[in-house]
Amino acid sequence: MNSEAEVKPDRRRDIPSVGRLVSELQPAYPDLPRWALLEAVRRVLAEAREHPPPAAEASFEDVLRDRAAELARRLALPHPIRVVNATGIVLHTNLGRAPLAAGAAAALAAAARSYGDLELDLASGKRGARGGRMVEKLCALSGASGALAVNNNAGALLLALATLARGREVVVSRGELVEIGGSFRIPEILEASGARLVEVGATNRTHAADYRAAVGPDTALLLKVHRSNFEQHGFVGEVSLRELVAIGAEVGVPVLEDLGSATLLDLSAEGWRPETEAAASLRAGADVVCFSGDKLLGGPQAGILLTADRELAKTMGAHPLARALRLDKLSLAALDWTLSAHLDGRAPQEVPVLRELLASEQDLEALARRLAAELEAPGTLQPAVEVRRDRSFAGGGSLPGFELPSWTLVVRPRSGAEGFAERLRLGEPPVLARIREGAVVFDVRTLLPGDEADLVKAIQAALV
Ligand SMILES: *Cc1c(COP(=O)(O)O)cnc(C)c1O
């Protein structure tokens, strides 16, 4: 006999049936869909059967009902839901990277709702190139002779490697065998493409001679990868793109640069490093460059390939992987709009990522002071708010080492920062901020139009 069962009376008998609990919950929560209630009740009852509560628990059924309602509410939420980004990280991968410009979102919605000339040439009535006009805009902006856009930059790199180097060798510096968040690793992408990795140099230093020594009859490509999420300091050295291009020309091997995050504008007057412009890599002689659509470019998720040679873009476009990785029509419409905004000179004002990164310190300070005044207005909870100068981050491996002075609201709740931050995350809409030294820090740089009033309300609500 099970001795445990003797000491602890079995509460399993008290567990209600799925049908009864659902029929009790439905009238109490008329806005929760039936499928979510059913699924939640099943899960909560299964859990209760596995771990019956101790005998003394009085309102056992009430507890089950509350748990099921809470779970059903979460199951029924759409995904993803809007959040307010007060982290000061402009390109936050966990928050979906670049928000689209209003115009890009409208173009996307219009493409979604109607038929379109996606693969049709209206003049001839014949089949047309998918994204043909978008490709022309990419070339016009960058000076590239050929271009292609696929699903994301990991896909762009995979396609380029498979086209140029399948079954052959790709030479990469050991200092550039990077991992980008979300299980993207250069050696693994290389392997998946069917190319063979030839590592050269050391983690901290790679010399031109290392590349030269590694090149052989089987070498298909020299690859340079931007170290997006870390910097090296100390006894370090790398071979510049220009030098790599010179070596490639000597030995007759093309050069591919994975830029990760790049712009199609020259923003060196704003203090941005010239290398952030994709065109600079082409001018330096790279045969192919690739970068993400939803990092500094500020468009939809996409992987953009620019080539110095028109035929190379065509060859990549004809590879079977190009079909598997192709950009969907919604992203295509948003990307096309974003490129037009760049060509028209409207991008710095209209593309949110650029607007946020180019915001002046004076404007950010004024915004922070205005929000602080609203928080401290009479009749509110009047939290102690400090307006403080701080720094934001571009994120997404963009603009390494570039200072982004910003302004923040610092709120130090008596109940502690962790609980306050959790209530903010679980609010409607959720607010994400930084926690530092017992305070929650709200950076105003990453607020979007419409976020300000919600942020003030959310802070008030989370303080109680
Ligand atoms: C971000 C990044 C990638 C991956 O780009 P996705 O668009 O997320 O696929 C690849 N390489 C580098 C250097 C990056 O910074």
Q: Are residues 316 and 373 in the same domain?
A: no
Contact 213, 243 (CB under 8 A): no
Q: Are residues 451 and 325 in the same domain?
A: no
CATH number at residue 302: 3.40.640.10
What b/e readout covers 155-164, taking b as 16+ CB neighbours within 10 angstroms? bbbbbbbbbb
Q: Can you tell me the distance from the alpha carbon of 165 to that of 446, in angstroms, rounded to the nearest whole number?
A: 41
Q: How many helices and strands (H and E) does the chain possess? A: 19, 19
Q: Are residues 332 and 380 in the same domain?
A: no
Tell me, yes or no, if the pTM score tops 0.75: yes
Determine the pLDDT at residue 8: 54
Place of tokens 């010399």: 207
**Residue 451, token pair as written in the block:** 């976020």
Residues of the chain with pLDDT under 50: 1-7
**Residue 158, token pair as written in the block:** 């995979």
Q: Is residue 6 part of a domain?
A: no
Which of 93, 151, 153 gets mutated to test ligand 1 (max ligand atoms within 8 A of its CB)? 153
Q: Which atom of ligand 1 is nearest to the CA of 93?
A: 8
Contact 146, 307 (CB under 8 A): yes
Q: Are residues 343 and 359 in the same domain?
A: no
Pick the closest to residue 447 from 323, 381, 352 (CA basis): 352
Q: Is residue 1 part of a domain?
A: no
Distance 260 CA to ligand 1 centre (A): 5
271 phi, psi to nearest 5 deg: 90, 5
Q: Is residue 8 part of a domain?
A: no
CATH number at residue 377: 3.90.1150.180
Q: Is residue 3 part of a domain?
A: no
Q: Are residues 49 and 124 in the same domain?
A: no
Q: Are residues 20 and 159 in the same domain?
A: no
Q: Is 176 in the pocket of ligand 1 (CB under 6 A)?
A: no
Last residue of a domain, one of 330, 350, 370: 350
Distance 180 CA to ligand 1 centre (A): 7
pLDDT tens figures, 96-150: 999 999 999 999 999 999 999 999 999 999 999 999 999 999 999 999 999 999 9
Q: What sign results for the dihedral spanned by CA atoms 336, 225, 391, 410?
A: positive
Which of 223, 225, 228 gets mutated to test ligand 1 (max ligand atoms within 8 A of its CB)? 228
Determine the pLDDT at residue 5: 46
Vertex 250: Cα angle to 249 and 255 (nearest 5)? 35
Q: Is 261 in the pocket of ligand 1 (CB under 6 A)?
A: yes
Tally of CB atoms within 10 A around 20: 11
Partners of 149 in beta bridges:
304
Contact 72, 32 (CB under 8 A): yes
Q: Give the residue numbers spanning the domain of 424.
A: 84-95+355-463
Contact 289, 305 (CB under 8 A): yes
| Residues listed for the chain | 464
Domain count of the fold of the chain: 3
The stretches of 29-149 forming alpha helices (DSSP H) are: 34-50, 60-76, 102-113, 132-142
410 phi, psi to nearest 5 deg: -110, 120
Distance 185 CA to ligand 1 centre (A): 10
What b/e readout covers 51-85, taking b as 16+ CB neighbours within 10 angstroms? ebeeeeeeebeeebbebbbebbeebbeeeeeebbb
Last residue of a domain, one of 286, 318, 350: 350
Determine the pLDDT at residue 400: 79
Q: Are residues 198 and 286 in the same domain?
A: yes
Q: Is 390 in the pocket of ligand 1 (CB under 6 A)?
A: no
User: H or E segment at 205?
Assistant: none
Q: Is 225 in the pocket of ligand 1 (CB under 6 A)?
A: yes
- Which 3 state secondary structure label does DSSP give 85? strand
How much of the chain is helix, strand and coil, in % rounded to 5? Answer: 45, 20, 35
Q: Is 276 in the pocket of ligand 1 (CB under 6 A)?
A: no
Contact 433, 442 (CB under 8 A): yes
